[in-house]
Structure 1
Amino acid sequence: MTRPPTDPALLVLADGRFPAGGHAHSGGVESAVRAGRVGDARTLEAFCTGRLHTTGLTAAALAAAAAGATDPLVLDHAAEIRTPSPALRAASRRLGRQLLRAARAAWPDPALERLAGAAPGGAHQPVVFGVVAAAAGLSPADAATAVAYESVSGPVTACVRLLGLDPFEAAAVLARLAPPVAAIAREAVAAAATGDVDLLPTLGAPLLDLAAEDHARWPVRLFAT
């Protein structure tokens, strides 16, 4: 079966070089490396798989809902209560603010201006991602796929620096994660399609939350989270 072509706007938005600030974050893997839980491609893949099926699914569903017709401020509250760690809450809002700033330059749209005015301190990153995706003409499925992919690509990219991981091995990890990323995106879209914010996934990862709080107190670190 021939697949439909990918909208180039999705490639721009999902590109790690898009100035949305994600390059400064490891997705929790810096803490995992220091704790000895991640030390090679195999353990990195296991870490990413866990992250994808928990916080990755939750974020992807929020993005899919925001790319649809759901009020982003309602979703922002939903994101807040799904993020127990104060450090991760603050980071998510910083990333959301940076993403919105970049998107307003790339895809000027009244919806982006309204969100900027309603949440001057920054809305949560997955919610902003969904609103930006809609402004760029993308679908909820596009938004969910990009956010699910980001949940694993960030840690994998970080480990090239943290572990000196061979970039070819890193690429192979991402390639193996592609099918589960697609499956998580489909699950996220199905949850968002209900139109009920209370039915969106609430999956979390307590160890990531605890590690984020500890990481925030490190005097020296490579990544913000």
Structure 2
Amino acid sequence: MTGHVEARAALLLLADGRLPAGGHAHSGGVEAAVLDGSITGLRDLAEFLRGRLATSGLLAASFAAAVCRSVRTAGPATELAADVLAVFEAEVDARTPSPAQRAASRAQGRTLMRVARAAWAVPAHPAAPHHCVALGIVAAAAGLEPRDAALAAAHASVNGPATAAVRLLGLDPLAVTGVLAEIAAEVDRIAAAADTASALRAPERLPAGSAPQLDLLAERHRTAEVRMFTS
């Protein structure tokens, strides 16, 4: 029981926006959407977050759960074969057509791995995995279940962008928290679906829902002259 309690506390740590893993530097497409007028207030933000959760959020949650499951099956995180991780990395690449999004994902994965090594036994390589792959590795090292990894990924897919919207638009943080509370049940459903997918499918058959608008926003953001966020 003690180990389980400690693992649940680790989930809270991974989901905490104050974790120094670089998430605060990324808007998840919100900054570009604000600049082109797609997001102007709470209603637009809520629609954006729901769309992001159902596409890139489901993808990230599924891969985080699948990697976590693979690490737990293989044993200690340091024993997971490099070729197994390479398959997951290749599959995430195939589902991320935007170079800007791939770069942002790997930047966040690199930072998360660096932070995690201060707390848990995680491998030295890969040095800069996709964020969802890193999250799966770290979750397993922290004693979490695949469903926990999926939940952390699904939560991150909306929490970071919502926080960015507060800074970009000067929104009432209490109202934005209300938006996050409204979609909390959807976050749970996405995490459950991702966990189920990770248990039944090979990496190449994990969810691959496309989000062309997020790809376009990422590429526009990369060439913007003035930016508050890295992505």
Bin for the TM-score computed over the shorter chain: over 0.9
- Equivalent residue for 1:219, pick from 205, 216, 225: 225
Once residues 224 and 37 of structure 2 are traced to their aligned partners in structure 1, the CA distance between those partners, rounded to angstroms, is 16
Match of 2:90 in 1: 77
RMSD value over aligned CA atoms?
A: 1.4
Name the amino acid aligned to 2:11: L
Match of 1:167 in 2: 173
Once residues 201 and 45 of structure 2 are traced to their aligned partners in structure 1, the CA distance between those partners, rounded to angstroms, is 35
Matched, 1:102 2:111: no
CA offset at residue 73 of structure 1?
2.3
Once residues 139 and 208 of structure 1 are traced to their aligned partners in structure 2, the CA distance between those partners, rounded to angstroms, is 29
- Equivalent residue for 1:87, pick from 100, 117, 139: 100
Once residues 180 and 146 of structure 1 are traced to their aligned partners in structure 2, the CA distance between those partners, rounded to angstroms, is 13
CA offset at residue 64 of structure 1?
0.2
Once residues 21 and 191 of structure 2 are traced to their aligned partners in structure 1, the CA distance between those partners, rounded to angstroms, is 21
Matched, 1:156 2:157: no
CA deviation map 1:102-143 (0-9, x unaligned): 000111x1xx22xx33x33x0100000001000000010000
Name the amino acid aligned to 1:85: S
1:72 and 1:131 in contact (8 A); partners too? no
Q: Give the total of aligned pairs.
A: 215
Matched, 1:210 2:223: no
Question: For 1:181, what is the secondary structure of its paired residue?
Answer: helix
Name the amino acid aligned to 1:102: V
Name the amino acid aligned to 2:147: A
With structure 1 as the length reference, what TM-score do the two structures score?
0.92
With structure 2 as the length reference, what TM-score do the two structures score?
0.90
Match of 1:31 in 2: 32
CA deviation map 1:65-121 (0-9, x unaligned): 0110163221111111111000111111111110000000111x1xx22xx33x33x
Once residues 105 and 137 of structure 2 are traced to their aligned partners in structure 1, the CA distance between those partners, rounded to angstroms, is 15
Once residues 150 and 47 of structure 1 are traced to their aligned partners in structure 2, the CA distance between those partners, rounded to angstroms, is 14
CA deviation map 1:192-221 (0-9, x unaligned): 001411220001210110111111011210
1:160 and 1:167 in contact (8 A); partners too? yes
CA offset at residue 188 of structure 1?
0.3
Runs of 4+ more than 4 Å apart: none
1:58 and 1:204 in contact (8 A); partners too? no
Once residues 61 and 42 of structure 1 are traced to their aligned partners in structure 2, the CA distance between those partners, rounded to angstroms, is 27
Match of 1:18 in 2: 19
5+ residue gaps, structure 2? 72-83
Once residues 52 and 171 of structure 1 are traced to their aligned partners in structure 2, the CA distance between those partners, rounded to angstroms, is 16
Once residues 7 and 193 of structure 1 are traced to their aligned partners in structure 2, the CA distance between those partners, rounded to angstroms, is 21
Q: Percent identity?
A: 52
1:45 and 1:173 in contact (8 A); partners too? yes
Match of 1:47 in 2: 48
